[in-house]
Structure 1
Amino acid sequence: MLNPRYCLSLPLLLAAFGAQAQTTVAQITVQTGGYDRYNSPVRYEIGSPGLSDTSGLVLYQLEGKVRRAVPARLQARPAAVEWQLNGHVKAGVTLHYELVREKGAAVPPARDNVTVAKDDSAVTVLAGNKPVLRYYHAVVPPPPGADPAFERSGFIHPAWTPGGKVLTNIHPKDHYHHFGIWNPWTDTQFEGDTVDFWNLKKRSGTVRFKQFYATDGGFRALQEHVAFKKDGKEKVAMNEVLDVAVYASDGETFMWDFTSILRCAGPSPITLNKYRYGGGFAIRGNAAWNNENSAVLTSEGKTRKNADSTHARWIKIAGNLDNGMAGLLILSAPDNFRAPQPVRVWPEKDQQGQVFAMFSPTKDYSWTLEPGKTYTQRYRIITFDEDPTPAQAEAYWNDFAHPVQVSSKRNQKNGSPGR
């Protein structure tokens, strides 16, 4: 899986290099397999502990007698090259690449980079010069007049489309505890107490940002799930690493991965009880969306009329805003708990037609987390300004669930054989 953090930009060649000195590092083969691909992420582990000098490394795609330079990045630890396929590539296709070292390579333009801007409140991740998402590490207070219990950190808002449209909403009057894109658990048992990390007004628990592990190509943050004990003390019940990796944009979509890694914070287990919502991946949609100008579709063909409490591999939300169509596609990994996971979708007549949807892993089954074990939930998000067809949504999910196959022939002078 592509993860663009700890990465350095690879040179992008803007013109032919002629007879410059070259050293081939690896010949790489990518097979699309049984699925059509759309801007698919590709990762090749170089597998050379001695490859410390990354200057002049260039990735070419070989198309007959033509060699085309490909925008790519180099991850330093472990050494790996990362790029994306160009647009739609059909099933059963084999692509050939060459990783070489050359002199005089140009620095890629800013539009090919994923960057992070950080301030005292939030980190904003950009693809080129366009914002993709913002994550709040500072505590955000509720609107004036609301209960101060509705403050929180550790959530994403806004999430944008490439056209700059905002997809999310926080602190809506009907649910002050809704925070854009977030994932607390609602009904849990911890050390003999029932703890609700979702409904903040209960003052039973909350989720807090603790620290960043990385802010390159996205962010990797530690979030603490804090239980408020009956004696007035606080205790961290779960530690969560939230890993958000953003890909370079193709100009038509933004793509990013949302990975939640849960561990018990101490020797006590915690049970995530069966409940209709909580955990996984939740979104409160733009306040302008309603049951007349937006629609929800799942991988099983369900809509707002009948999606709630069904299971799905993906959820698509799309609707009109003042500045045009906007939406997002949420893909749930096949190895997630209870996959294909149950979904919570507000029916058309609920909450004046406002949009709320989520993958809720414990909607129909309890889940006990044991100390010393790690529990991972993976989701991929594609945001768009033009509504993809169900076939395109299915192709995106197949690409996420069944990545392209990568193999190589290595130049032995540059290290051990690649994988």
Structure 2
Amino acid sequence: MAKPCYVLCCMALLLGHGASSQVVAHITVKAGAVNRHQTIIQVPFDAEPGRVYRLVSVENGKKVEQNVQQEDGQIAWQLRGDLPAGTERTFDLVLLKGKVDVPLNKRQITYKEEDGGYTISRGEHPVLHYRTAIMEPPTGADTAFRRGGFIHPAFTPQGKSLTNIHPKDHFHHLGIWSPWTDTEFEGKTVDFWNLKKRSGTVRPVSSPQNSLTAGNVFGGFRQMQDHIVIGNPDRTAMTELLEIKVYNTADDHFVWDYNSTLQCASAAPITLNEYRYGGGFAIRGAEEWNNANSKVLTSEGKDRKQADGSLARWFIVQGALKAGNGGLLVLSCPQNFNSPQPLRVWPENDQGGQVFANFSPTKNKPWPLVPGQSYAQRYRIVTFDGELTAAQAEAYWNDYAFPPEVTVVPVSRPVSRR
């Protein structure tokens, strides 16, 4: 988000070029029982497509104007500064009229199509790269490990990579992805993760729902991924619409959402069987992490010795990287299936101490999917340099799990009389 002086200058420039404005709604944001800090607000509003809106508020006796972004019948912005528990803040939503060119600010969220996929950046700093093209495995590895549809690298704000792909111990580990492992489709067991079985795989595909977005408040992409049963011919058992939304947060941390929506691809149901691994959100941690220089912490206070099989609302993985410490926090939405979700975390002595952590919703119960319904799994990711405390993680969780109450009151347009 731009600094206040920058936004005010932009507004003066815009209005100086013949743009007038009209207040179209009054908005109240109530903190509720949670202290808010730089909170991301997304609220339904029937905005006019292609039009430019601004939020106007009074803070410490001064008028403040800031960016708002619209998409899919919603408007979004980030609260400036703190909003303590029990307090509220009011805004006027203003529609700018006339010709308005909106400059993107220095911390805008942008996308670039490169390296077989999309790189999403905040300003000049890459946040993550998503691979759409099929990636070949390392030389000498089985060609069954060819796959696309994963995130690597995911970065800290200072550019440290947090992820690893195709490690020699597990060629099917792919940065950040949703590894559905043990499933049942048309009476057969299908594994969409352990690619060497040649049972199933995942392929990004063309779809009218695919999109790329850039903006001053958020940016990212939507990408359809087919979960393929390998055969003669191949068949799609399950579709997944993956949405990655990166926010232009004012803090030093990167904040982004990983939202996955599953559907049956045909009239045949699919069951995601109970299994110790799979689904949800998984990360294969940075190559340099081991049991001596990294650690895991969960919302219930579990460390790497205790985390596997426990239930959690969030987990942190952090440790020493090539240019200093860093890590990531993963928040699981309380509306997710089987929440709070079970964790699969490699014990500290597995695989030489390498890091694998997974929100595995089917670890202790199956999940049957039926045709005609959609099934959402939503996670928020915070990446950081240095270290993140449990108190900071809990504050992020409260803000995500219990969003503030937002009231939007449209302003009626006056009726002209003759």
TM-score (norm 2): 0.90
In structure 2, how many angstroms separate the alpha carbons of the residues matched to 1:115 and 1:381?
Answer: 18
Off by >6 Å, runs of 4+ in structure 1: 103-106
Structure 1 contact 116–126 (Cα < 8 Å) conserved = yes
In structure 2, how many angstroms separate the alpha carbons of the residues matched to 1:203 and 1:53?
Answer: 47
In structure 2, how many angstroms separate the alpha carbons of the residues matched to 1:149 and 1:356?
Answer: 22
In structure 1, how many angstroms separate the alpha carbons of the residues matched to 2:414 and 2:168?
Answer: 60
- Which residue does 2:86 correspond to in 1? 92
The within-5 A match list for 1:118-157 is: 118-119=113-114, 121-157=116-152
The within-5 A match list for 1:4-403 is: 12-14=7-9, 17=12, 22-47=21-46, 51-52=48-49, 54-55=51-52, 57-75=53-71, 77-78=72-73, 80-101=74-95, 107-119=102-114, 121-211=116-206, 213-216=210-213, 217-229=219-231, 232-403=232-403
Measured after TM superposition, the shift of residue 321 of structure 1 is 1.0
In structure 2, how many angstroms separate the alpha carbons of the residues matched to 1:45 and 1:263?
Answer: 24
Secondary structure of the structure 1 residue equivalent to 2:139: coil
Structure 1 contact 62–98 (Cα < 8 Å) conserved = no
Secondary structure of the structure 2 residue equivalent to 1:110: coil
In structure 2, how many angstroms separate the alpha carbons of the residues matched to 1:373 and 1:207?
Answer: 20
Secondary structure of the structure 2 residue equivalent to 1:343: strand
Structure 1 contact 71–83 (Cα < 8 Å) conserved = yes
Measured after TM superposition, the shift of residue 162 of structure 1 is 0.8
Change (3 A) 1:377 1:44: closer
Q: State the number of aligned residues.
A: 398
Kindly indicate whether structure 1 or structure 2 has the higher relative contact order, using CA contacts under 8 Å at least 6 residues apart: 1
Change (3 A) 1:250 1:64: closer
In structure 2, how many angstroms separate the alpha carbons of the residues matched to 1:44 and 1:192?
Answer: 43
Counterpart amino acid of residue 71 in structure 1: N
In structure 2, how many angstroms separate the alpha carbons of the residues matched to 1:293 and 1:58?
Answer: 46
Gaps of 5+ in 1: 1-10
Secondary structure of the structure 2 residue equivalent to 1:406: strand
Secondary structure of the structure 1 residue equivalent to 2:396: helix
Task: Give the CA RMSD over aligned residues.
Answer: 2.2
Structure 1 contact 160–383 (Cα < 8 Å) conserved = yes
Structure 2 contact 175–283 (Cα < 8 Å) conserved = yes
In structure 2, how many angstroms separate the alpha carbons of the residues matched to 1:240 and 1:52?
Answer: 27
In structure 1, how many angstroms separate the alpha carbons of the residues matched to 2:409 and 2:267?
Answer: 47
In structure 2, how many angstroms separate the alpha carbons of the residues matched to 1:243 and 1:66?
Answer: 37
In structure 1, how many angstroms separate the alpha carbons of the residues matched to 2:355 and 2:322?
Answer: 16
Structure 2 contact 172–195 (Cα < 8 Å) conserved = yes
Secondary structure of the structure 1 residue equivalent to 2:67: coil
Secondary structure of the structure 2 residue equivalent to 1:413: coil
- Which residue does 1:8 correspond to in 2? none
In structure 1, how many angstroms separate the alpha carbons of the residues matched to 2:169 and 2:193?
Answer: 15
Counterpart amino acid of residue 221 in structure 2: F
Change (3 A) 1:37 1:285: same
Structure 1 contact 110–129 (Cα < 8 Å) conserved = no
Change (3 A) 1:250 1:228: same
In structure 1, how many angstroms separate the alpha carbons of the residues matched to 2:234 and 2:11?
Answer: 62
Structure 2 contact 254–382 (Cα < 8 Å) conserved = yes
Deviates more, 1:391-400 or 1:282-291: 391-400
Measured after TM superposition, the shift of residue 151 of structure 1 is 1.0
Change (3 A) 1:160 1:92: same
Secondary structure of the structure 2 residue equivalent to 1:396: helix
Q: Deviations over 1:71-122 (max 9, x none)?
A: 33233x42x4311122443222211222224579784443242111113611
Secondary structure of the structure 2 residue equivalent to 1:14: helix
Change (3 A) 1:199 1:338: same
Change (3 A) 1:67 1:376: same
In structure 2, how many angstroms separate the alpha carbons of the residues matched to 1:139 and 1:52?
Answer: 35
In structure 1, how many angstroms separate the alpha carbons of the residues matched to 2:318 and 2:68?
Answer: 31
In structure 2, how many angstroms separate the alpha carbons of the residues matched to 1:238 and 1:130?
Answer: 34
Structure 2 contact 160–322 (Cα < 8 Å) conserved = no
Counterpart amino acid of residue 317 in structure 2: I
Counterpart amino acid of residue 54 in structure 1: R
